[in-house]
Chains A and B, each alone.
Chain A
Amino acid sequence: MSNQALLLLQDVLGEPKLIDWEWLRENFSEDVIPALQGHIFLSFVSVAIALVIALPIGVISARYRKIYPPVTAVTGVLYSIPSLALFAMLISIPGVVIGPSPVIIALVAYSLLILIRNTVAGIDSVPPETIDAARGMGLTNRQILLRVELPLALPIIVAGVRIATVTIIGIATIGAYINGGGLGALIFDGIDRQFPTEIIAGAVLATALAIIADLLLLGLERYLRPWARARRT
């Protein structure tokens, strides 16, 4: 009876093994690695573009306080749109073809709120007396920004980059729905074919990627802040 039942269960699940090591071995370099590379590409490019947009907006928002509420309102709305809906909306815009570009646009849109908010918070965290001393010694506004405010805001900005990166690596899997590629392609394919190995491979790699990226950024932040390692003994 037990044999019969097991066979029946296998029929229902459609696949006997959770992880098909054979499949992994055979498709590793052809499917898994390119999917991982694609995912890294999507995430990295999106965070990079988002930073290039968010840093100046953050700096300007910290200076001219009036524009900060509208900026957070707009980016906050972007942040709250369900990702699947955003992807679908983007490809319905004439001229936007399915593929990586709309995915990157969406991922950038998701990162903006976190990155801008942390840039402003970072600049706000700089002690006013440090800025007063800098101005009093004759640094120009530009020198104060580049030599004092941004370096001191760095830990909070990098903290934002870490959150944004982890978030984006997760959301990027959904980008495969509109042919964005990446690890999501494995997951969607596994769902279509009812093949858990692919789903698990995609999920595990996406999670590992997020954790590794987070740790690397943490290491980078420590490296860029030698003064934080030196504490009064």
Chain B
Amino acid sequence: MIEFRQVSKTYPGSSNPVVKDLSFEVPEGEICVLVGPSGCGKTTSMRMVNRLIEITEGEILIDGEPNTAMSGTQLRRKIGYAIQQIGLFPHRTIADNIGTVPNLLGWDKGRIRARVDELLDLVGLSPDDYRDRYPAELSGGQQQRVGVARALAADPPIMLMDEPFGAVDPITRERLQDEFLRIQENIKKTIVFVTHDIDEAIKMGNKIAILKQGGVLAQYDTPQNILSRPDSEFVSSFVGADRVLKRLSLTRVSEMDLEQANGGTDGLPRISARLTVKDALSELIDSGQSKAVVEKDGENGLLTFEAIEALTSGTSDGGEQSA
């Protein structure tokens, strides 16, 4: 668990703090996304966790201990670190890059090699093909996979990720996000994830902390609640006018309560239950019909505009988060 307690950062010679009185908790095994416009202090906040930037006031607790209890370098070896520009060592092989922290921690060679191969498999790169290559031989997407593998190398309970999928094209980014969420289901790391992209925040986060200029926390909540109950003008405008649609993207059709289709489904469009409700709505509009057939648990259900509307209306919970 990571706990920010009244954390502020002011650079010497400046009277305006870049982060101000920041307090929130990241529960064990969850992804907390820090999101906000540029200059909101999100990266600064993340970098204070592993003390790449020192706090001016307040404290950050990791599992109840202040993060100043040990030296900065010792602390950082226990926290995974992945950044947008990746920063692979160009002069080291992929295996050496991934083995950086285990090597610092003094693991023996056999254990490091086994761990490197395990991680390459985990991020979908064949160890035999990639282990001995140099970063320059890899595509941007492959390098970001290696960057994530390197951050996971010593199996740290906590990870810091600063736009870790930012330097690739949108299609690759989407795939990397999905793969990482799948990995996270198993490894259950406590993650502070920084992005400027609200869609990525909604997709990746169990919790989202929206920051505004001056490093002030505007809202800290689940993606659902941020979309359904933005508690300020700033948050609702940052989230965007399409926040209702964004909420629909959090739910899959398979998670909805659908009314039974009692025959009469001829001529109606069929929609996959695996789609998000947002995509299903798009298909429904495209079909020109007012309802569509969804096959779910071997039965036919009916997806209607009313059912979708019910999902978005009021402040009631609109379903489980799809991630």
Q: How far is B93's CA from A230's CA once the two chains are assembled, in angstroms? A: 10
**Bound-state Cα–Cα, A225 to B136, Å:** 13
Residues of B with C-beta under 8 A to A138: 73-78, 101, 104
A133 touches B104 (CB 8 A): no
Contact check, B73 vs A129: say whether CB atoms are below 8 A apart: no
User: Contacting chain A: which of B81-89, B190-198, B243-251?
Assistant: B81-89
Q: Are B76 and A132 in contact (CB under 8 A)?
A: no
User: How distant is A148 from chain B, measured CB to nearest CB, in Å?
Assistant: 6
Asked whether, in the complex, the Cβ of A137 is within 8 Å of the Cβ of B101, the reply is: yes
Cβ of A123 to closest chain B Cβ, rounded Å: 14
Of the four ranges (under 10, 10 to 19, 20 to 34, 35 or more), the interface on chain A belongs to 20 to 34
- Taking CB atoms, residues of chain A closer than 8 Å to B83 are 129, 132-133, 136
Q: Judging by beta carbons under 8 Å apart, are A230 and B81 in contact?
A: no
| A211-226, CB < 8 A from B | 225-226
A25 within 8 A of B: no
**Interface residue tally on B, bucketed by range:** 20 to 34
Query: Binding site of A, secondary structure by majority: helix, strand, loop or mixed?
Result: helix
Closest to B76 in A: A138
Distance of A150 from chain B, by nearest CB (Å)? 10
Q: Would A137 and B77 count as touching, CB distance under 8 A?
A: yes
> Which residues of chain A have C-beta atoms less than 8 A from B73's C-beta?
138-140
Question: Is A152 a contact of B90 with CB atoms below 8 Å?
Answer: yes
Q: Is the CB of B88 within 8 A of A130?
A: yes
B47 to chain A, nearest CB (A): 8
Q: Check B137 against A232 for contact (C-beta < 8 Å).
A: yes
Query: B91 contacts A136, CB within 8 Å?
Result: no
**In the complex, which of the residues B77, B90, B160 has the most CB atoms of chain A within 10 Å of its own CB atom?**
B90
- Which residues, 33 to 92 on B, are CB-close (under 8 Å) to A? 50, 52, 73-78, 81, 83, 85-92
Q: What are the interface flags for A111-149 relative to B under an 8 Å C-beta threshold, 1 for contact and 0 otherwise?
A: 000000000000000010111111111111001000010
Chain B residues positioned under 8 Å from A134 (CB to CB)? 87, 89, 100
Contact of A130 among B89, B104, B136 (CB under 8 A): B89
Decide if B138 is an interface residue (CB 8 Å cutoff): yes
Q: Contacting A127 at CB < 8 Å: which of B77, B87, B134, B160?
A: B87
Taking CB atoms, residues of chain B closer than 8 Å to A132 are: 52, 83, 85, 87
CA distance A131 to B85 in the complex (A): 11
Residues in B with CB closer than 8 Å to A129 are 83, 85-87
> A residues within 8 A CB of B101?
137-138
Given A230-B133, A233-B137, answer yes or no on A130-B76 (Cβ-Cβ < 8 Å): no
Per the bound structure, the CA–CA distance linking A129 and B87 in Å amounts to 5
Kindly report which residue of chain A lies nearest to residue B93, judged by CB atoms.
A227
Complex CA gap A138/B100 in Å reads: 9
Known contacts A227-B136, A230-B136, A232-B138; A139 and B90 CB within 8 A of each other: no
Contact between A133 and B87, CB atoms less than 8 A apart? yes
Q: Which residues of A contact B89 (CB under 8 A)?
A: 130, 133-134, 148
Q: Cβ of B77: which chain A residues have Cβ within 8 Å of it?
A: 137-138
Instruction: Indicate whether A151 reaches chain B with its CB closer than 8 angstroms.
Output: yes
A140 to B76, CA, bound (A): 10
Interface centre among A136, A140, A225, A233 (most CB of B within 10 A): A136
Q: Which residues of B come within 8 Å of A, CB atoms?
A: 50, 52, 73-78, 81, 83, 85-92, 100-101, 104, 133-134, 136-139, 147, 150, 160
Beyond contacts A133-B86, A230-B134: 18 other A-B pairs, Cβ-Cβ < 8 A, are A127-B85, A129-B83, A133-B81, A133-B87, A136-B83, A136-B87, A136-B160, A137-B77, A138-B78, A138-B101, A140-B73, A151-B91, A225-B91, A227-B90, A227-B92, A227-B136, A230-B136, A233-B137
7 closest A-B pairs by beta carbon, nearest first, are A133-B87, A138-B77, A129-B85, A136-B81, A138-B76, A129-B87, A227-B134
Can you sample 6 A-B contacts with CB below 8 Å?
Answer: A136-B52, A137-B77, A137-B81, A139-B100, A225-B91, A227-B91
